[in-house]
Amino acid sequence: MTADDQARLDRRLLMLPATPKDGAMTRDVLWRAGIETEICESVRMVAAEVQRGAAAVILPEEAIGSASRVLALVIAQQAPWSDLPVLVLTRQGADSADASLAVSALGNVTLLERPLRVSTFVSTVRTALRARERQYQIRRQLEELRDADQRKDEFLATLGHELRNPLSPLLTSLELLKPSATAEPTLSRLVGVMQRQATHLVRLVDDLLEVSRITRGLIEVQRDPVELAEILAAAAETSRPVIEASEHRLIVDVPDEPLIVLGDSVRLTQVFANLLNNAAKYTDPGGTIELLVRHTRHTAFVSVRDNGIGIEREHLSSVFDMFTQVSRSDRRTQGGLGIGLTLVRSLVALHGGSVTASSEGRGRGSTFEVRLPLAVVETHPSPAPSVHKGFAGCRVLVVDDNQDATETMQTLLESLGATVAAAGNGREALAQFEAFEPNAVLLDIGMPGMDGYEVARRIRKLPAGAATPLIAVTGWGQQEDIRRCFDAGFDHHLVKPVDVDRLWELIVGGAGQTIN
Ligand code: ADP
């Protein structure tokens, strides 16, 4: 159905007359006032037509009764913007049982007592149609807002992806500069500053990407049995630099018995690290932060409490909304985007839990409590962390159309003992693969001409390519991209910027198929 067809349906005034004669007469009166009516033969028909679209409905009181239940149902299911006007023509003395049933069941009801002056009737119908027109305007605005919101989400995803690409060679270059900078204190300090700032940028970009994935429903969390105490220890470790920088005291009170959550350890660590970081950030130096766990048989309650600036009551619920910062002028909110708590709430919800904020008010500290369902499962011992021992003896082919990215990766791997060949596009990559015979390939996905998926497929068809580890190195880390990578024959999927220890695990340490 075209938009015009729908608009025509939406403008209809539906009428169920008491008698055919009544119908003809009323239609005539309205027609003379320039209003068209569509006659329905039963309440059931009115209900069906309302579902297709209607501006208002005229019913006689006689039609209200058990048959009107179906219409009441349709009206109850209206979209939130919709409040269909229903005009009920009553018999004299509008306090009958049917009239009050109509008022309670049919929503936006106007009772009109017969006999009725024509002018009153026409003006009431006009008012109803006008009110309906306003509702359609609101519907249009809501649709526009939804479209704009969707475009914003898509923009954030693209922005995040595009920002990641230049960050990758920047960080790798800084890593390379570090050893030669140690002899020169000023240079070493500057490299340190650049590394910290670039890492901060990576974190902001990651948050942006994450939040845009969540809003577009693209995030999936793993459901592995994980021990809560381990997650909290990892989160405390992540936040330690921020807590120590402000000389806060961190008090941890976690029960001895193992509490198992079915979840994604990386995501859950992110949740608690975010809360601890905020506690550190929004508390004046020398404060106290407490990380406490209570539990029942089925639920764990993790509280992150601080004695910092606190949150006023009216802001308590909105702090979880996207881009919300209680006081933008506060120096402390700078360096953030107001999406940390949005991420916390979404990630906790993906684990079947919830999070609440409480505070006695300004200057009285804040408490964030996360509730997570507990599982009763055996834990598996976690694998020992790998020790990075260099890439001596490895022949690595690096493929990326971004020359800075290939060059810095090549220099980094060479400085760690690998022999490296580089290619800037798909064709070169295939030629190099045969000439160089690498024992691992790092392959960018988004390249002009032949993309990384196609290169992987073609390498897999070469006699020497069947068993060579193929590692996708991309800016895109969504489930769909990862699935496409594995379908194309990749063994591993890494998101830029690549962590060199992780790369070592994959190339030298012999890890199985992984996503990172
Ligand atoms: P950001 O910290 O990047 O501004 P968040 O989403 O993490 O974004 O937090 C949103 C807002 O909630 C912050 O700007 C701050 O005003 C408030 N807030 C968060 N945590 C605390 C806390 N522990 N104490 C006081 N205010 C807080």
Model pLDDT for residues 201-212, shown as the tens digit of each residue? 888 888 888 877
On the question of pLDDT at 215 being above 90, the answer is no
User: What is the rounded CA–CA span in Å between residue 13 and residue 87?
Assistant: 11
CA 58 → CA 92, 203, 457, distances in Å? 17, 59, 65
On the question of pLDDT at 384 being above 50, the answer is no
Separation of 509 CA from ligand 1 center, angstroms? 40
CA neighbor of 172 nearest in space, from 469, 405, 425, 344: 405
Separation of 260 CA from ligand 1 center, angstroms? 28
Tens of pLDDT, residues 53-109 = 999 999 998 888 766 788 998 998 899 999 999 999 988 765 677 777 777 788 899
- Per DSSP (E only), the strands in 360-512 are 366-373, 395-399, 419-423, 440-444, 470-474, 492-495
On the question of pLDDT at 513 being above 50, the answer is no
- Predicted pLDDT at 210: 80
Beta carbons within 8 Å of 100's beta carbon, 6+ residues apart: none
Question: Closest Cα to atom 11, ligand 1: which residue?
Answer: 325
> What is the pLDDT averaged over residues 341-352?
90
Contact 396, 418 (CB under 8 A): yes
Question: Closest Cα to atom 8, ligand 1: which residue?
Answer: 338
Separation of 273 CA from ligand 1 center, angstroms? 13
Helix (H) or strand (E) holding 194: helix 185-215
Q: What's the sign of the alpha-carbon dihedral 75, 78, 80, 84?
A: negative
Average pLDDT, the chain: 87
On the question of pLDDT at 382 being above 50, the answer is no
- Predicted pLDDT at 459: 93
Is the pTM value of this prediction over 0.85? no
Tens of pLDDT, residues 238-276 = 999 999 999 999 999 999 888 999 889 888 999 999 999
Phi, psi of 481 (to 5 degrees): -65, -40
On the question of pLDDT at 220 being above 90, the answer is no
Separation of 327 CA from ligand 1 center, angstroms? 9
On the question of pLDDT at 328 being above 70, the answer is no
Tens of pLDDT, residues 34-61 = 999 999 999 999 999 999 999 999 999 8
Question: Closest Cα to atom 16, ligand 1: which residue?
Answer: 326
Separation of 311 CA from ligand 1 center, angstroms? 9
Question: Closest Cα to atom 23, ligand 1: which residue?
Answer: 279
370 — pLDDT class (breaks 50, 70, 90) = very high
442 — pLDDT class (breaks 50, 70, 90) = very high
Q: Is 357 in the pocket of ligand 1 (CB under 6 A)?
A: no
> What is the pLDDT averaged over residues 375-387?
47
Q: Is 477 in the pocket of ligand 1 (CB under 6 A)?
A: no
Separation of 396 CA from ligand 1 center, angstroms? 44
Please state which of the ranges 54-68, 227-241, 273-287, 343-357 shows the lowest mean pLDDT: 54-68
Q: Is 289 in the pocket of ligand 1 (CB under 6 A)?
A: no
> What is the pLDDT averaged over residues 401-415?
88
Of 206, 211, 281, 282, the residue with max ligand 1 atoms within 8 A of its CB, to mutate for a pocket test, comes to 282
- Predicted pLDDT at 380: 39
